[in-house]
Structure 1
Amino acid sequence: MKYFLAFLIFSQTLLASDDWGQNGHRTVGETAENYLKSRVSKKIDRILNGQSIADASTYADEIKSDRAYDEYKPWHYANIPFDQTYAEAEKNPKGDIVFGIEECISKLKSNKLNKEQEQFYLKMLIHLVGDMHQPLHFGLKEDKGANDFKVKWFYNPTNLHSVWDTKMIESYNMSYTELSASLPELSKSEVQSIKSGTLLDWVEESRALTQEVYNSAEADENLSYRYMYDWFNVAQLQMKKAGIRLAVILNDIYS
């Protein structure tokens, strides 16, 4: 039994590295809670049986180890050529991150879900909005969203996707509560600007950053302190935006 538990923990750690990592997603969830309307926060607390949004945020990665949920794996990303918008690009017939977010919102607004179904789609939505702000979730199909873009992180072999998922966050060496508290302070006008726009506006904003991130490194380059200095503040702002926009969506669904 102990070997099975060790394997399960190890497997979930690997799966969690697919996007923002556990600390990144929990930071998004913790941030969202600060922007929820009081009555919305109470409704979500009841739906999740007291589990925090931060704790619920990693669920969509954890279920990847269960083949019964394989149909939801394409919901975590969308591969789009740089010379096309999401609206113009050919869509994955199995769905993608935009489809997944829209489907979750539609289900949660339908008032046709039982408690278990509502928990599922709420947890999926929490996670996917975080994914949408990790720019390499809109990476190129040919390199699997920069998973095949090989680089080094402090001389250790890795890939550019992993640098943005976990390596920078791990190097910052903070818990998700500490990381949440360290996110940039924003003015009311800055917060309002982040809240404005549509889902597709937010997607295209992330995609513009995707291209910048692809240009931020060369194949097999060793990335270290300078890369952290240049880009970690961008990752922090993306997590902040994700939390604010998640709250916008949840306030709209549950108000």
Structure 2
Amino acid sequence: MHRLIAILLIACALVGAPAAHAWGPLGHRLVARLAEPLLTPPAHAEVQRLLATEGLDSLADVANWADDVRANDPVLGKQSAKWHYINIGEYACTYDAARACPGGDCVVEAIRAQVAILGDRSRSDAERLQALKFLVHFVGDVHQPMHAGYARDRGGNTVQLQLGGKGTNLHAVWDSRLLASARLDEDAYVDTLRLEGERLPADTGPYVPAAPAVWAEQSCRIAMAPGVYPQGAKIDDAYLQQYRPTAEAQVQAGGARLARLLDDALR
């Protein structure tokens, strides 16, 4: 009986546990797969060369590395933990580095720092490949609206919800439930999103250093939009259907912007 109670308590805790991955593995792989065909030939060649140093084939192969490193390399995982998000919901979705990103520990400054490492040909291949891995993931992260939201609820992690009679939270819904509700496998989803290029943002031109802050502010405004935070504790398929196009558009934007960022770093 005591063991059964312990198991039930653990299960309850896991139901309400904060989500660990922005977009979930599928979303991050979608961003990577949408980006890769958009690379210029020189950038694509350098990406392939760096990936090959570890026997890897594509950007999708490293899309979730920055999350996995938390378990595989606790030191680097701890060092990079704050690089996955930026909390600017309390600041009217306006990015100010001194106020919102002390010490450069946020996704905006992490992107800028890793771009500099990747583009520095005097660095070792190992350093530059690690920067590439971080960038593929962090560009996905900054386009997940809850990764730019409120500090007070940890990007929606503490907003507990019921979906289909099961416990979840707002962050987890935006991480994976919205995309999963399309009920498409990865290949089909990539094809679908590639066919909807008219939903790409207008600002997918050359990368500029100010861009990550702009991306974060745009994501924050999505998170703050009326209705994103449900009025009650229960949501249903109607919520998923309403906001899945927004999540998909963010994945598309992330892919296009990642491609331009890599083009600039590897030109």
Fold-level match, TM-score > 0.5? yes
Note if contact 1:57-1:127 (Cα within 8 Å) is conserved in structure 2. yes
Q: TM-score w.r.t. structure 2 length?
A: 0.83
1:199-253 CA-to-partner distances (Å, cap 9, x unmatched) read 3222221121121277441341x22210111110111110000000000000111
- Pick aligned residue for 1:85 from 62, 79, 94: 94
**C-alpha distance in structure 2 between counterparts of 1:17 and 1:31, whole Å:** 23
CA pair 223-129 structure 1, distance change in 2 beyond 3 A: same
CA pair 176-82 structure 1, distance change in 2 beyond 3 A: farther
1:45-91 CA-to-partner distances (Å, cap 9, x unmatched) read 11001421011111001001131211001000011214251127332
May I ask how many residue pairs the two structures share in their alignment? 239
Where 2:70 maps in the other structure, the secondary structure is helix
1:152 and 2:162 correspond: yes
RMSD: 2.2
Which stretch shows the higher mean deviation, 148-157 or 87-96? 87-96
1:120 and 2:130 correspond: yes
List alignment gaps of at least 5 residues for structure 1. Answer: 1-13
Note if contact 2:51-2:58 (Cα within 8 Å) is conserved in structure 1. yes
**C-alpha distance in structure 2 between counterparts of 1:114 and 1:129, whole Å:** 22
Aligned partner of 2:215 in structure 1 is 202
CA pair 20-191 structure 1, distance change in 2 beyond 3 A: closer
**C-alpha distance in structure 1 between counterparts of 2:142 and 2:93, whole Å:** 17
Query: Which runs of structure 2 are paired with 1:15-34 in the superposition (5 Å)?
Result: 17-34=20-37
CA pair 25-115 structure 1, distance change in 2 beyond 3 A: same
Aligned partner of 1:10 in structure 2 is none
**Aligned-pair identity (%):** 27
Q: TM-score w.r.t. structure 1 length?
A: 0.86
CA pair 129-250 structure 1, distance change in 2 beyond 3 A: same
Note if contact 2:39-2:259 (Cα within 8 Å) is conserved in structure 1. yes
1:99 CA displacement: 1.1
- Pick aligned residue for 2:74 from 67, 72, 82: 67
1:111-167 CA-to-partner distances (Å, cap 9, x unmatched) read 232111111110000100000100000121111111001111212111000001012
**C-alpha distance in structure 2 between counterparts of 1:26 and 1:152, whole Å:** 27
**C-alpha distance in structure 1 between counterparts of 2:86 and 2:189, whole Å:** 27
CA pair 200-47 structure 1, distance change in 2 beyond 3 A: same
Letter in 2 for 1:153: L
**C-alpha distance in structure 2 between counterparts of 1:30 and 1:213, whole Å:** 31
Where 2:197 maps in the other structure, the secondary structure is coil
Note if contact 2:48-2:58 (Cα within 8 Å) is conserved in structure 1. yes
Aligned partner of 1:252 in structure 2 is 264
Which runs of structure 1 show a deviation greater than 6 angstroms over 4 or more consecutive aligned residues?
none
**C-alpha distance in structure 1 between counterparts of 2:248 and 2:174, whole Å:** 11
Aligned partner of 1:9 in structure 2 is none
Aligned partner of 1:96 in structure 2 is 106
Letter in 2 for 1:247: A
CA pair 194-95 structure 1, distance change in 2 beyond 3 A: same
Where 2:22 maps in the other structure, the secondary structure is coil
Note if contact 1:153-1:167 (Cα within 8 Å) is conserved in structure 2. no
Where 1:148 maps in the other structure, the secondary structure is coil
Note if contact 1:30-1:177 (Cα within 8 Å) is conserved in structure 2. no
Where 1:85 maps in the other structure, the secondary structure is coil
**C-alpha distance in structure 1 between counterparts of 2:191 and 2:154, whole Å:** 32
1:177-200 CA-to-partner distances (Å, cap 9, x unmatched) read 22111226124xx65713147332
- Pick aligned residue for 1:185 from 180, 185, 196: 196
